[in-house]
Amino acid sequence: MTEHKPHLYGPALIADYVKRLPSKPGVYRMMDENETLLYVGKAKHLKKRVTAYTSYKRHPVRIQRMIRLTHSMEFVVTGSETEALLLEASLIKKLKPRYNILLRDDKSFPYILVRKDHDAPQITKHRGAKKPKGDYYGPFASALAVNRTLDTLQRAFRLRNCSDSIYASRTRPCMLHQIKRCSAPCTGEISMPEYGMLINDAEDFLTGKSEKLRTRLQDQMRAASKDLNFEKAAEYRDRLNSLAHISGSSTGASSTTFLEGDIIGIYSGGGQSCIQVFFFRAGQNWGNSSYFPRHSKDDEPSDILDAFLAQFYMNKPIPKEIFVSEDIPNRELLELALSERSGRNISIAAPKRGEKKKLIHMAVKNAEEALARKQAETASQTKLLAQVATSFDLDSPPERIEVYDNSHIQGTNAIGAFIVAGPEGMEKKEYRTFNIKDDDTVPGDDYAMMREVMRRRFTRLMKDDSLVWPDLVVIDGGKGQLSAVRETLAELGALERTTLVAIAKGPDRNAGRETFHMTGKAEFTLPPRTSVLYYLQRLRDEAHRFAIGTHRARRKKQMKSNPLDGIPGIGPSRKRALLSHFGSAKAVKEAIAAELENVEGISQRLAETIYEYFHE
């Protein structure tokens, strides 16, 4: 249900909506005059919840500002309050409203995959959709945690991690077998039944049957020793040592009172918060991750944690038990929603004593230390941005800096790119590239390339109000590049909305002697060996790295492609016939139509198509 009241806004608008709202569960959205989303909320009774916003003066200043900005609202009635909770979390993650508590740096987690589509199963790291056939164990908190576990599993069970193609091509054991990391089923150093037993032992460990496994290995070690098979006994001993190592790895924390659960602790300070999540699976600590949700300074830790949980588990496997450092206001509702989503009973608890309380304390302590590190980095970044503002006469420190560069070799595989930096440092998710494709752009013309990139970038910025404009645009180049960019932005009417700076390399391309160019200002340099100059050099070098990396990837892909791939009517069999007849793609390109007709499967019409493809 969507309604617009252009003549009303703020409390009066909301009061008008209330007259027609049902007393049913649902989700509401609040938008400003530009239809930009301000807030997404859920309600057990939409009418009662939205009515609360009409009591304007009872709300804190931040919410009063949101109410004043509200020019329209949208409503969705749901079948239950749990449906409303899940829909709210989904919309917040997708739309990122300005006034909601928002989980940032959300990503998928890696798993250990034991592939079962081969006689000798492979053990490997996996991230993303679970398409390969096999058993998945996880999630692990980070690539570091999963790599550490894989390394130890290889030591303990000597399982292969090579690809099927490498496995099939081996004629003798590889180096991993020599250093006792692989049992080499590829060359028959171990029989398939024996290798299958190793796979079973590894899966026992990954599913929490480690004590039974240790007991069995100890019995086998004693039996081998009794039979005077000391080499085999030493192998069992090494496996036991490896298992002991993995159990005590990471933070040293382990669980004896539960097998599967997440430990989640929050620490708030200085208007910011860090949430630390520890993953426990099969009774083992499988790593931890830090999260820094966006929220206002007056949000309570319990409310932040409540919003975090709803968003965090929207696209992740949910453990049976979740242990948190704060009593959250929507605990029962969240338990019900997560249980519905996972298809099993999920419990959320704030432990008050015992092992779980100690683990919670550890999580909170880690969150405190992570937040302190982040705030120290942010303070340093804030100082640098203040110096950038001073150097370029900006009214305030820039919130978003975009740095542009081009890359090509004699005009081929031309790439334009920009990187983004701000108070949080380098924002790699915001990096973008442009394939230079304008027919009017002469290959190798850096000025024309920069004009095309700027025209495409700023045209989109002007069309899409949801995109963030840069406060500062830095161009890798001199006066010519600056003029080209300034003319392009002036044509678009975007010149007044940002500040342009060109950074030219110094004499003999020496770092530290860069010259800066700005509109209406004489060229200037910055004092050498200063932090602001080092920062700008780092931004310029990062843009160059990103542009040339993308260019090389594109060039490598093109080198692997065949010139015959784009010809209509030429599939794999005809391509093979042409290459077999002429010997190379270059010879096919130089052949006349009559010569092409001599190839089996190439008709007169197709021969003319091939000739015209190369000679249009």
Starting at the earlier edge strand, list the strands of the sheet with 272-281.
284-291, 272-281, 261-269, 321-324, 347-349
Q: What's the rounded Cα separation, in Å, for the pair 158 and 297?
A: 52
* Predicted model pTM: 0.69
pLDDT by residue (tens digit) across 217-245?
A: 888 888 888 888 887 788 778 777 777 76
Provide the pLDDT for residue 330.
92
CATH class of 261-372: alpha beta
Instruction: Tell me which CATH code domain 572-615 carries.
Output: 1.10.150.20
pLDDT in the model for residue 506: 65
Question: What is the distance in angstroms between the CA of the first residue and the CA of the last residue of the chain?
Answer: 56
Please tell me the predicted confidence (pLDDT) of residue 142. Answer: 84
Please state the CATH superfamily assignment of the domain spanning residues 401-558 in this structure.
UvrC, RNAse H endonuclease domain (3.30.420.340)
Residue 128 backbone class (left: φ over 0; alpha: ψ -120 to 50; beta: rest): left
Residue identified by tokens 């007169």 is 604
pLDDT confidence of residue 251: 43
> Which helix (H) or strand (E) is 530 found in, with range?
none
Give residue 250's pLDDT.
44
Residues 6+ apart with CB under 8 A from 369: none
| Crossing angle of helices 301-312 and 81-95, rounded to 10° | 90
User: What was the pLDDT predicted at 246?
Assistant: 58
| pLDDT given for residue 410 in this prediction | 59
Q: Do domains 261-372 and 572-615 have the same CATH topology?
A: no
For the beta sheet containing 111-115, the strands, ordered from the edge strand earlier in sequence to the opposite edge, are 123-126, 111-115, 134-137
Q: What is the pLDDT of residues 151-183, one digit of tens each?
A: 888 888 889 989 888 888 888 888 888 888 899
Yes or no: say if 38 and 98 are a contact pair by the CB < 8 Å rule.
Answer: yes
Q: Any idea where the domains of the chain sit in the sequence? A: 2-95, 111-247, 261-372, 401-558, 572-615
The residue behind tokens 């192998």 is: 235
Token representation of residue 71: 């020019």
- What is the CATH topology of the domain spanning 2-95? GIY-YIG endonuclease (3.40.1440)
Residues of the chain with pLDDT under 70: 1-6, 105-106, 245-255, 409-412, 439, 443, 506-512, 556-562, 566, 616
Does residue 297 contact residue 273 with C-beta atoms inside 8 Å?
no
Question: Distance of CA 68 to CAs 63, 71, 295, Å?
Answer: 9, 8, 19
Strand partners, 37: 31
